[in-house]
Chains A and B, each alone.
Chain A
């Protein structure tokens, strides 16, 4: 993209606005697709709806754009209730998953379309289309047809077409899913820098946690029509609210066991084949739940020395190993339950043999007790 270009001309006089979703319920027949959704997206934020397919994230996005109607609840943009407005009056720009570029128009005509519909004077249309195409670095392809462009270029045209109307909110429906892996990484950086330049409140729908983690300020993780958790990528990874969020963002080790009272007060998580793992305050003995931690929270100890302070020793047997280059992922059996362990790898290091016994030290304070 052209770095010298000042986006001020595109966003002059624009002020970022927030989006509020209040108690939204949406059903197709008897199938409830969205269940009591509440979200508060801040002005200028890059926000993601993240979840597996069928979780309702695209339905929610289309609801904001006006292509779906909720049975209950309302959507406000910048404090104004837009729930009853038809799509063409909402002033939210949407980039479609398929880009939806019109094949019978050139790139320039595609981008000019929204301004023409707004009866913007001809000269200003010309100027703003040029500016938008410049912003996405496609000025030289203005007279091509969409079919003559690559996937990445089509994506940029779709973006230019949307931002040129200076929408209050930008909606992106899986915008990177039709690009190849390398281009995807490049485009997500470009998306982020564009969003920062324009200061445009942006909602991004994706099923790819890496995509959401790398570019979004905050994420709403969705499953089964319910918002499971909202937070920054780090909050979600480090402090997942439940097992779904824990598993959806990164690899999670989940252990089953019992919560028992400890002699010196407090509670501990007890599994077979290991010392009790102390739990933080507030978890009562007998509580139902599981212990979740990340593969990098375990350390392989081969020297036989005592565990460090705060570490708990687990004993297990190596079942599989996967050489990943920077690290080696071992699958280890601990008293009948399997955990994944990541060990950093240096050139010349020997891999642990399968079926050999192994000592694992576990940073117990990094573990999370999850009730569901």
Chain B
């Protein structure tokens, strides 16, 4: 007994390393996430002149027609985007998982392509293809005498957003369709159920959690997005209103903060509703020997119809890419279905004029991603492998960044760091480029953290114990055993963070102070403001797509390789 008690004492001996790491991370999160967001909330409830607590700002918000219209517009656009995105995703997911479908893998991959283009870049291309005087409507008017208002006002935002974000639903829904055990369906058939009833009563309810997860993500993303409505010149939505208040009236105007609070509350509400809908519904039902849904063979006529639908959807979701590519090579493209002639000069312009956008982006995004995986790995380790008090809170706080829209974080940074002068120069700290890197890191931290946690969960702690048993210190064990084994997950987390940080606009647009410090997303936004800038803007957009595309592909390759290696180990 005594020896047991002794060894317990020995185990409980506090090692300083984890505690120091935890405190550093906590400080970072406090300074660059908690303080700015709390500042925003605080100011929203503060009287502008006296600084006392007040609800007047909120009363003003709800009494203001423009704000209320913006609120409902944001809500309407988000809900409709979910509907349209579902219409795009459902047939693709259903057809490729339930039927013997040639090219199912290709369709699934093409379906994810929209994600690799920031939606605000696609918006301009979509104007040229589907706008009032875009390709489709010009052709329709010429041949059939009518046009379709795809891009008029809110329609445009809904159209662009649903095409961009529908892969979230496609990925989640396909995954949960694939996770339904074949016996679930067969037992229903055995009891007399078939055809559409089988889908309605068994297959769809079982796939529901995946659908809800994807749909709520689409809702939040659209609700929070700033770039797309700005570029489409739709300003009566919440995120653009917040931006415009701060950028035109100034950082002391309380309405920007009130709108920010409304944005956060709505994000949290959407997350809560989806958590509620999924509560107790972990329906991953594949059992041993199970093989997912049985695939049905289609009749020839069904086959033609199915391919028709799939092709139409694919053309639609690839339209922004096609449009952007055309635009980047076009001399003049206005009031005509297609460009007048093709040229390479836009790429030349971008290289000569805007090289700094690209180098800045590479610098900022890689620094942010590096920060993310270092913090992500550390938090994952602290949470899973130490008994430090309150370690779970690091995870919770880091994940809370998911519910903070980019605009809000940007406003929070402005408010918190504008009055802090830089040493030597005396410039406001909020304009310092490193602050932008921190903002990007905070925005992408949740994704990196999840990747690192997943990677660490797959490393058995007995591997660590073996190293320590053979005489390695804790730090040596982590650097020689744990991190190398996690490297696949860490790398995937890095690449994902890098690629998405590279095209982040909403926080960026608030924090960039000078052209020379601006990243690609900002440059794109500036180019797209003028008709003459569209060509070079599109060329820059193509760079962005290549960066994100390469990143996505790389992380996919890394994850797949890791999966294969683990498969061979067993």
Instruction: Give the one of B192, B206, B208, B280 with max A CB within 10 A.
Output: B192
* CB of A257, distance to nearest CB on chain B (Å): 43
Q: Find out whether the CB atom of B184 lies under 8 angstroms from the CB atom of A102.
A: yes
CB within 8 Å of A: which B167-188 residues: 181, 183-184, 186-188
Q: Which residues of B contact A65 (CB under 8 A)?
A: 186, 190
Asked if B480 is at the interface (CB within 8 A of a chain A CB), the reply is: no
Q: Check if A19 is an interface residue, CB within 8 A of chain B.
A: no
A114 at the interface (CB under 8 A from B): yes
Contact yes or no, B206 A88, CB < 8 A: no
Total count of chain A residues near the partner, CB < 8 A: 27
List CB contacts (< 8 Å) of B148-174 with chain A.
none
Cβ B189 vs Cβ A100 within 8 A: no
* Cβ < 8 Å to A, chain B residues 189-212: 189-194, 197, 201-202, 205-206, 208
Inter-chain CA distance A98–B186, complex, in Å, is 12
| A96-B183, A98-B183, A103-B281 known; A113 vs B188 contact (CB < 8 Å) | yes
Check A118 against B205 for contact (C-beta < 8 Å). no
* A-B pairs with beta carbons under 8 Å apart, 12 shown: A65-B186, A86-B194, A87-B186, A88-B190, A96-B183, A98-B183, A100-B183, A102-B188, A113-B193, A114-B191, A145-B280, A165-B191
Contact A100 B184 (CB under 8 A): yes
Q: B283 on the interface (CB 8 Å rule)?
A: yes
B355 sits at the interface (CB 8 A)? no
Contact assessment for B181 and A100 in the assembled complex, using a CB-CB cutoff below 8 Å: yes
**B181 and A104 within 8 A (CB):** no
Contact between B191 and A161, CB atoms less than 8 A apart = yes
Q: Contacts A67-B186, A102-B184, A103-B283 known; A117 to B206 CB distance under 8 Å?
A: no
**Which residues of B lie under 8 Å from residue A118 when comparing CB positions?**
192
Chain A residues proximal to chain B, CB less than 8 Å: 65-67, 86-90, 92-94, 96-98, 100, 102-104, 113-114, 117-118, 145, 147, 161-162, 165
> Given the complex, which residues of B lie within 8 Å of A92, measured CB to CB?
190
A93 touching B190 in the complex, CB below 8 Å, given contacts A98-B290, A102-B206, A104-B208: yes
Q: Is B39 among interface residues, defined by CB-CB distance under 8 A?
A: no
The answer to whether A114 and B281 have CB atoms under 8 Å apart is no
B192–A117 CB distance below 8 A: yes
Contact with A along B286-301 (1 / 0, CB 8 A): 0111100000000000
Of the candidates A88, A98, A147, the one whose C-beta lies within 8 Å of that of B287 is A98
Closest to A173 in B: B183
Smallest Cβ distance from A83 to chain B, in angstroms? Answer: 16
CB distance from B448 to the nearest CB of A (A): 32
Contacting residues, chain A, for B208 (C-beta < 8 A) = 104
Q: With a CB–CB cut-off of 8 A, which chain A residues contact B290? A: 98
B487 at the interface (CB under 8 A from A): no
Question: What residues of chain B have their CB less than 8 Å away from a CB belonging to chain A?
Answer: 181, 183-184, 186-194, 197, 201-202, 205-206, 208, 280-281, 283, 285, 287-290
Q: Which of A66, A117, A145, A162 contacts B193 (CB 8 A)?
A: A117
Q: Which residues of A contact B191 (CB under 8 A)?
A: 88, 93, 113-114, 117, 161-162, 165
Given contacts A98-B183, A100-B184, A117-B191, 9 further A-B contacts (CB under 8 A): A87-B190, A87-B194, A88-B194, A93-B191, A97-B289, A100-B186, A103-B285, A104-B281, A162-B191
Assess the A100–B281 pair: CB atoms within 8 A.
no
Q: Is the CB of B283 within 8 A of A104?
A: yes
- Interfacial chain A residues near B197, Cβ < 8 Å: 117
Minimum CB–CB distance from A171 to chain B (whole Å) comes to 8
Task: Give bound CA distance, A98 to B183, whole Å.
Answer: 8
Q: Is there an interface contact between A102 and B202, defined as CB atoms closer than 8 Å?
A: yes
A113 CB → nearest B CB, Å: 6
- Which residues of A lie under 8 Å from residue B194 when comparing CB positions? 86-88
**What residues on B are CB-neighbors of A103 within 8 Å?**
206, 281, 283, 285
Contacts of B186 in A (CB 8 A): 65, 67, 87, 94, 96, 100
CA distance A333 to B285 in the complex (A): 52
Nearest-Cβ distance from residue A272 to partner chain B, whole angstroms: 47
Q: Is the CB of B183 within 8 A of A88?
A: no
Nearest CB on B from A115, distance (A): 9
Of chain A, the residue at the smallest CB distance from B195 is A88
Chain B neighbourhood of A162, CB < 8 A: 190-191
Residues of A within 8 A of B283 (CB): 103-104
Say whether A88 contacts B193, CB under 8 Å.
Answer: yes
By a CB distance below 8 angstroms, the chain A residues around B285 are 103
Contact between B187 and A96, CB atoms less than 8 A apart: yes
**Chain A residues, CB < 8 A from B289:** 97
Q: Which residues of B contact A100 (CB under 8 A)?
A: 181, 183-184, 186-187
Contact check, A88 vs B205: say whether CB atoms are below 8 A apart: no
Please indicate the chain A residues that have their CB under 8 angstroms from the CB of B206 in the complex: 102-104
CA A90 – CA B184 in complex, angstroms?
18
In the complex, A92→B287 CA distance in Å? Answer: 23
Bound complex: CA A243 to CA B179 (Å): 42
Q: How far is the CA of A162 from the CA of B189 in the complex (A)?
A: 12
- Measured in the bound complex, the distance between the Cα atoms of B183 and A26 in whole Å is 21
List the A side residues contacting B287 at CB < 8 Å. 97-98
Q: Which 9 A-B pairs have the closest CB atoms?
A: A114-B191, A100-B183, A98-B287, A117-B192, A100-B187, A87-B189, A88-B194, A104-B205, A96-B183
In the assembled complex, how far is the CB of residue B286 from the closest CB belonging to chain A, in whole angstroms?
9
Whether A165 lies near B192 (C-beta < 8 A) is yes
CA distance A118 to B181 in the complex (A): 24
Q: How far is the CA of A90 from the CA of B194 in the complex (A)?
A: 12
Chain B residue contacts of A94, Cβ below 8 A:
186-187, 190
Q: For the complex, what is the distance from the CA of A117 to the CA of B189, rounded to whole Å?
A: 10
Closest-by-CB residue of A relative to B206 is A104
Q: Chain B nearest CB: distance from A124 CB in Å?
A: 15
Cα(A75)–Cα(B193), bound, Å:
21
Chain A min CB distance to B207 (Å): 10
Most chain B CB neighbours (cut-off 10 Å) among A66, A97, A98: A98
Given A98-B287, A103-B281: A88 in contact with B189 (beta carbons within 8 A): yes
Chain A CB within 10 Å, residue with most, of B187, B197, B287: B187
- From B187, which residue of chain A is reached at the shortest CB distance? A100
Q: How far is the CA of A40 from the CA of B189 in the complex (A)?
A: 25
CB distance from A332 to the nearest CB of B (A): 41
Rounded to whole angstroms, the CA-CA distance of A165 and B187 in the bound complex is 13
